[in-house]
Amino acid sequence: MPPAFPRREGLRYVAASIAALFLLASIVGLQRLAVRGANTPLRYLGGEIKTLDPARITDAGDVQLLLQLYAGLTRLDEEGRVYPSLAGSWNVTDGGRTYTFHLRTNLHFSDGSPLDARDVRRSWLRLLDPTVHATAPDVLNVIVGATERASGKGSEAAVGIQAPDPNTLVVHLRHPAGYFTSITATPSTFVVPRTATASGSWQTVNTFIGSGPYVASAMNGTTLVLKANAKYAGAAPPIGEVDWVTDITGDAVTAYADGDLDLVQIGGSDATWIAYDHDLGPALHRAAALSVEYLGFDTTRRPFDDARVRRAFALVLDKTRLVELADGAAAAAATSVVPPALQPPDLSPATGPQPEEANRLLDDAGFKDRSKLGGITVTVPSFFDASPIVATWRKQLSVTVSVETMDFSDYITALDAGRIPQVFAINWIADYPSPHALYDLLLAPGARSNYGHWNDPRFADLLDAAAESTGDAAQAAAYRKVEAAVDEQAPLIPWSYDESNWLVRPGLQGLGTLTIGLLDFGLVSRS
Amino acid sequence: MRAARAVLIALAVVAATAAFAPARIAAFSGFGPMTVSEQYGKAITFKVELPGGAPDRLDILIGFGIEPDSTFVAPVEASGSAASYVWDASTQYLTPNTPLSYRWRATNGSVVTESAVGNLRYTDNRAGLDWHSAQMHDATVHWYGSSETIARHFGDLTGGAVTRAEKLLGHSLDGPVDIFVYVSRDEFFGALGPGAREWTGAATFPGIRTVFMWLGGGPSDYLDRALVHEVTHVVFFDATRNVYHAPPLWLNEGFAVWSERRNADTQAATVRSEVSSGLISFDAMTDAFPIGTRGSALSYAEGATMVDRIIRTYGAMALSGIAAAYRNGATDDEALRAGTGAPATQLYTDYFRSFGAAEPKPIPAASIGPSIVHAGVKAGSGGQSTTAPNGSPAEPGDAGSNALRIGLVVGFVVAIGLVILGAILVRRRRPGGLP
C-alpha cells in the first residue's frame, strides 16, 4: 500500500498551510491594495498641451505640466518651500554672490542616460541662447552675464555658470539673492536631455526623455498619459499614472460628478452652488493663486510716458468695489503686483479711489483739454472684461477709450514681438515664490516681460537693494520702498488676485495649497 | 581724386544693385472692394482687395452683437493684392442672428489706414430653412415651413409679455425682439450650439435680443409660457443692463418663471415638497444653478417664489427699484435693499422662515492631508551652507512609498500573528500525541 498521511499529521499540515496562505495573502493583498491605489490613474483636467519644452513656457498650464516632466537643482514642496532635488546640497559664499551646488551622484534622465552638472549648465545656457527664443530667460537675470547673453550681446563663456566637475555647478550672481534657490525650482530652469535643440519640436510624446517624476508616455485620444519615471532623482511617485486630460465633452463639474476626473479646476459660478451642495461640497476647495491680473501701460509713448497720466488712470479706479462687482468672491482687488502669499508684511496699504486727485494730475500733465489725450485704446485678451475699468475712465476722467480684444495666442505673440498696446492686460503667475519674481520680471529695466518698457534706474537700485537685504524686517522695509516707487510711478495698475476653485477627489493628499505651479503630482497620494 | 573714384564706385554699385534687384514689391495704397460670405455653422469668410499690395501688417476688426463695447482684432497674413480671413464657425460658435460689423486695418510703417465698415447678420441659412418674417408688436417673428400661424401667435403673446414686464421693471424695451421658430429638434439645437441642455425647449440670447423656440419642446400651453418666459428675459436684461455686475441668476430666472403665470403657486408647492430635503441658498444661485434635475427645478422654484414674495410683501414697484439699482451698478445687497428696504440677508432669512425651512449653510470641505513623500525638508537661506537632510526625497533607486512600506509592515505583523494562532490551534488539537 502506498504511504498515507496520518489524519492528525495532515491536520497539522493543513493548519500550517492555511497560516502560510494567510501570510502570503496578507502580504500580497496589502501589496495589491497599495499597488492598486498606485495604479489607479489620477485624472486631472490639465487643458491643452502647448509645449513639452521648459524654454517655451507661456502660461500656468505649461508650468503645471512641465513641473511633472522635468527636475531642477531644487524643487518646491506643496507649501512652496524649497527642498533639494538634483542638488543634494549647496554652499553660498562670496557674500551671497556665489552658489556652489553639489549634485547627487548616479543621476539619470528617464531613458537611462547620465545626468550631471554639465547638463544643468547646458540647459541654463540653452534658456539664455537668443536663437532658442525662450519665453522666460529673465528668470536667470540675476546670474552674471545672463541678461547680456539673452539679449544677444554677450557670449556663453561670459555667463557665470561653471561645471568644474560632473557633480559641481558654480553660479556667480550679480548681487546676493536669497531667493536664488527658488529660481532653481522653477520649471524654466529644469534640466533637459542632450537631445534638446534650439527648435521647439525636439521633444515629443513618443520619444520623450525627461528628468521629472513623470514621463510623457502616450497620447490616448485627448489624454496625455504620464507614467512614473523610474529614474527620477526623488522618491518614486506614489501614484503610478497621471492622466492629463486635455479636453472633455460637457462641463467639468459633471465630469467630476460622474467620476471621470479626480482633480479639476472649476469656475466661480459653479463654486457658488457647490459650496452648499451636500454631495460635491466636501470636494470643493478654494485656493489663492500666486498670480496677479494687471493693466500695463506703454510707458514709451504719449500720453502714458508721463507718470502723472498713468497715476491718474490708476487712482480713479475703485478697485475694491469694481472687482467685487465683477467677480464676487472669485477674486480680490489687488493692492500690489505681488500676490498676497508672497507679500512681505505691510507691503502696500490699501487706498480708496481718488478721482479728484486723478483729474488734477491729468490737468497738471497738460491735458486739461482731455481731447488732447486722443483716443486711448485698451487691448486685452478675449477673456478679460475691461468694461468696468473703461466705463470708469470714461465717466470719471472724461476720456475717450476704445477696447480691442484678441485671441490669447495672437495677443502674446504681439507683445513678444514688441507690438505693445497703449494699455494692455496680463494675468501673471509668479515664476518662483518671491516678490522678486514679479518686480524683476515685470518691471526691471530691459526685462523681456517688462512689456511697457518702463525704465526707472531708481526702481532698479531699490530692487537690487531689496535682493541684497537679509533678515525679514530689512527685506520687508526694502520691498516697501520698491512698492512705493511702483505706486508713485504707476507703470502698471495691479487689478485683481484670482481665487481658484477646485474639485478634489476625497482621499487625495499632498496637494498642499492647490496652487497652480506648485501641484507636484509626484508628491500626491491616495489615502 | 580719391573722392571722385569713390563716387564712381558708388554709382557702379547702385547701378549693379538696380540691375539685379528683384521686381519691386508694390506698396500698399489703400483698400479695394471688400466682401463677406457665410456658411452657417462652418465659416464666415472676409475678403479684401489690396490694389497696391500688402501693408506691413494687416488686421481685421470685428464687432459682434448690438453696439459692442469691444472689437475683436485678428492679425491677417497678407501678400499680393488680396487678403482674406476666415472665422471658423464650426469651432467658434456664433449665435444665429448675431449682427457683425467689420473693417480692415493696415499698418504701414507708422501710418495706420482703416477701411470702410462692412456689416453682416449671421444667419441660420441651413438647407431647408426658407425663412419668412413678420413684424408683430415689439417682435419680429421668423418661421419656415408651415409654422406661420404659431409664429404669429408668438408675436401676439410677445406684446402682452413685454408690456407686463416693462411695467413691473419700470423700464421700456430698448429695441425689438427677434423670435425664431424651429420645427425640428436638430435644427433647434443646431442653432443653440454646444452646451445647450437636453431639456431646453426655448432659449434667449438677450444681448442680441433674440429668442429661439422649438415647437417640439412641449404642448401648446408650455410653448406659450416658454415664449413669455424668454421674452421677459430680454426686458429684464434691458432693465438691469450695466457693465459692472450681472443680477443673480435666481432673480432673472425667478422673474421669468413668475411672469409665465404671474404667480408662483406651482413653484411654492415644489419648494414645500423639498423643505425636508433642504432648500438651496440664494447665495448658491447667483451665477449658475446646480446640476441635476432636483437642483435645477428647485432653483427655478425658489427664484419664482422669492420674486412672488417680494411683489406681495413690498409691492409691485419693488422690482422696478431693484432693476434701477442694478442699472446704476449696484451690488445684490444694494439693489435688493433699494427695492425692498430690507438687506439681502434679511430677505433670505424671511424667505426660508416662511417655508419653515432651515437656512442652508455651506458644506465644509474635506481636509487634504499632507504629502507622504517627504516631510519638512527645507533648504537654508541666505548664505548658509545647506545639505539635504535625511528626510529629503530619496536617492535614485528608492522605489517604494511610505504607504506601501507601512502596508507591508502591517501585513507582516498580521500574518505572523495568524501563523502563531494557527500553530496554537494545531497544538491544541493533538492532546494525545501521534500514534
pLDDT tens-digit series, residues A238-273: 999 999 999 998 889 999 999 999 999 999 889 999
ipTM of this predicted structure: 0.82
Bridge partner list, B120 = B100
Report the share of chain A in percent with pLDDT over 70: 93
Q: How far apart are the first and last CA of chain B?
A: 135
Distance from C-alpha of B154 to C-alpha of B213, rounded to nearest angstrom: 9
Q: Do B287 and A254 touch (CB under 8 A)?
A: no
Do A270 and B295 count as a contact with CB atoms less than 8 A apart?
A: no
CA pair distance A317, A315, nearest whole angstrom:
6
A13 to chain B: closest CA residue: B426
C-alpha distances (whole Å) from B171 to each of A2, A470, B154, B317 are: 106, 62, 22, 12
Reported confidence tier of residue B21, pLDDT bands at 50, 70, 90: very low
Q: Which tens digit of pLDDT belongs to each residue from B243-263?
A: 999 999 999 999 999 999 999
Q: Which residue in chain A is spatially nearest to B107 when comparing CA positions?
A: A419
Q: Are B396 and A325 a contacting pair at CB < 8 A?
A: no
For residue range B105-138, list pLDDT tens digits in order.
999 988 999 999 999 999 999 999 999 999 988 8
Cβ–Cβ gap B422/A511 under 8 Å: no
pLDDT 10s digits, A61-114: 999 999 999 999 999 988 888 999 999 999 999 999 999 999 999 999 999 999
Identify whether the C-beta of residue B59 lies closer than 8 Å to the C-beta of residue B74. yes
| pLDDT at residue number A140 | 96
Q: Report d(CA B340, CA B97) in Å as an integer.
A: 38
Pick the more confident residue, A111 or B417. A111
Of all residues in chain A, the one with the smallest CA distance to B64 is A405
With an 8 Å Cβ cutoff, are B407 and A30 in contact?
yes
Of B379, B395, B404, the CB nearest to A83: B379
Q: Cβ of B408 under 8 Å from any chain A Cβ?
A: yes
pLDDT of residue B344: 97
Q: Does A15 contact B425 at a Cβ distance shorter than 8 Å?
A: yes
Contact check, Cβ <8 Å, B374/A37:
no
**Which of B56, B334, B386 best tests the A interface by mutation, with the highest count of A CBs <10 A?**
B386
Query: What does the pLDDT look like over A340-358, one tens digit per residue?
Result: 989 999 998 778 899 999 9
A277–B416 CB contact, under 8 Å:
no
Q: What is the pLDDT of residue A265?
A: 94
In the predicted structure, residue A298 carries a pLDDT above the cut 60: yes
Average pLDDT on A190-215 reads: 94
What CATH number was assigned to the domain covering residues B125-241?
Answer: 3.30.2010.30
Which chain B residue is nearest to residue A507, measuring alpha carbons?
B368
Check pLDDT > 50 for residue B186: yes
Torsion of CA B111, B112, B116, B121, to 10 degrees: 160
Residues of A in contact with B280 (CB under 8 A): 273, 276
Whether B375 has a pLDDT exceeding 90, the answer reads: no
Q: How many helices (H) and strands (E) does chain A have?
A: 15, 20
Pick from A6, A281, A282: which is nearest to B434 by CB? A6
Q: With contacts defined as CB-CB under 8 Å, which chain A residues touch B430?
A: 8, 12
CB pairs under 8 A between A and B: 289
Q: Could you tell me if A329 lies within 8 Å of chain B, comparing CB atoms?
A: no
Does B34-121 carry CATH code 2.40.160.10?
Answer: no
pLDDT value at residue A432: 87
Residues A329/A498, Cβ–Cβ less than 8 Å: no
> Quick one: DSSP state of residue A366?
I
Q: Tell me, yes or no, if A238 comes closer than 8 A to chain B by beta carbon.
A: yes
Distances (CA, A) of A358 to A371, A382, B208, B337: 16, 28, 36, 31
Task: Return the closest-CA partner of residue A442 out of A202, A139, A179.
Answer: A139
Question: Is there a contact between A26 and B414 if contact means CB atoms under 8 Å apart?
Answer: yes
A 277-306 residues with CB below 8 A of B? 277-278, 281-285
Please report which confidence band the pLDDT of residue A39 belongs to, taking 50, 70 and 90 as the band edges: low
Does the beta-carbon distance from B381 to A511 stay under 8 Å? no
Average pLDDT (A131-146) is 94
Between B329, B388, B415, which is nearest A23 by CB?
B415
Residues of chain B with CATH 2.60.40.10: 34-121
Residue of A nearest to B76 (CA): A410
For residue A481, give every residue at least 6 positions away whose Cβ sits within 8 Å of its Cβ, in sequence order, or none: A462, A465, A466
Domain boundaries A291-500, corresponding CATH code: 3.10.105.10
Q: Which residues of A touch B386 (CB under 8 A)?
A: 84, 89-92
The verdict on A486 touching B (C-beta cutoff 8 Å) is no
CA distance A331 to A499: 5
Q: What pLDDT score does B26 carry?
A: 58
CA distance A108 to chain B (A): 9
User: Is residue A22 scored above 60 in pLDDT?
Assistant: no
Q: Which of residues 216-245 of B touch A (CB under 8 A)?
A: 243-245
Enumerate residues 63 to 92 of chain B having a beta carbon within 8 A of any beta carbon in chain A.
69-75
For residue B382, pLDDT over 50 is answered with no
Bridge partners of residue B43, in order along the sequence: B39, B88
> Given an 8 Å threshold on Cβ–Cβ distance, is B373 in contact with A522?
yes
**Where residue A510 falls among pLDDT bands split at 50, 70, 90?**
very high
Please, where in chain A does CATH 3.10.105.10 lie? Answer: 291-500
Q: What's the gap in Å between the CA of B263 and the closest CA on chain A? A: 26
> Would an 8 Å CB–CB cutoff place A233 in contact with chain B?
yes
Fold of A75-189: Dipeptide-binding Protein; domain 1 (3.90.76)
A414-430 residues labelled b (16+ CB within 10 A) or e (exposed): bbeeeebbbbbbbbbbb
- Bridge-based pairing of strands A241-245 and A42-45 is parallel
CATH 3.30.2010.30 in chain B, residue ranges: 125-241
Strands across the sheet with B202-205, in order? B132-136, B139-143, B177-182, B210-214, B202-205
Q: In terms of Cα–Cα distance, which of B94, B295, B185 is closest to A254?
A: B295
Average of per-residue pLDDT across A459-466? 95
CA-based nearest residue to B278, from A284, A271, A253, A279: A279
Is A218 an interface residue toward B (CB < 8 Å)? Answer: no
The pLDDT of A361-374, averaged and rounded, is: 97
Determine the residue among B93, B240, B291, B412 to mutate to test chain A binding: the one whose Cβ has the most chain A Cβ atoms within 10 Å. Answer: B291
Min distance A26 CA to chain B CA atoms (Å): 5
Question: Which residue of chain A has the CA closest to B373?
Answer: A523
* B148-169 helix and B220-240 helix, angle to the nearest 10 degrees: 40
Scanning B102-161 for CB atoms below 8 A from A yields: none
Element (DSSP H or E) covering residue A138: none
Q: Which residues contact A366 (CB under 8 A, 6 or more apart)?
A: A372
Using CB atoms within 10 Å of the CB of residue A472, give its burial: 0 to 12 exposed, 13 to 18 middle, 19+ buried. Answer: exposed
Beta bridge partners of A103: A87
Cell numbers for B248: 443673480
At B348, give phi and psi (nearest 5°).
-65, -45
Helix/strand number for chain B, H first, E second:
11, 14
First-to-final CA distance of chain A: 58
Tell me what percent of the residues of chain B surpass a pLDDT of 90. 72
Alpha carbon distance A504, A287 (integer Å)? 12
Residue B386 to residue A510, Cβ atoms within 8 A: no
Q: B391 — contact with chain A (CB < 8 Å)?
A: no
Q: Residue A40 and residue A28: Cα distance in Å, rounded? A: 17
The answer to whether residues A283 and B302 touch, using CB atoms and an 8 Å cutoff, is no
Closest chain A CA to residue B381 = A178
Residue of chain A whose Cα is closest to the Cα of B61: A404
Q: What is the secondary structure of B352-401 as a DSSP string? A: HHHTT-PPP-PPPPPP-PPPSS--S-----SS--EE--TTSSPPTT----
Q: Using an 8 Å Cβ cutoff, are A263 and A500 in contact? A: no
- A240 shares contact with chain B (CB less than 8 Å): no
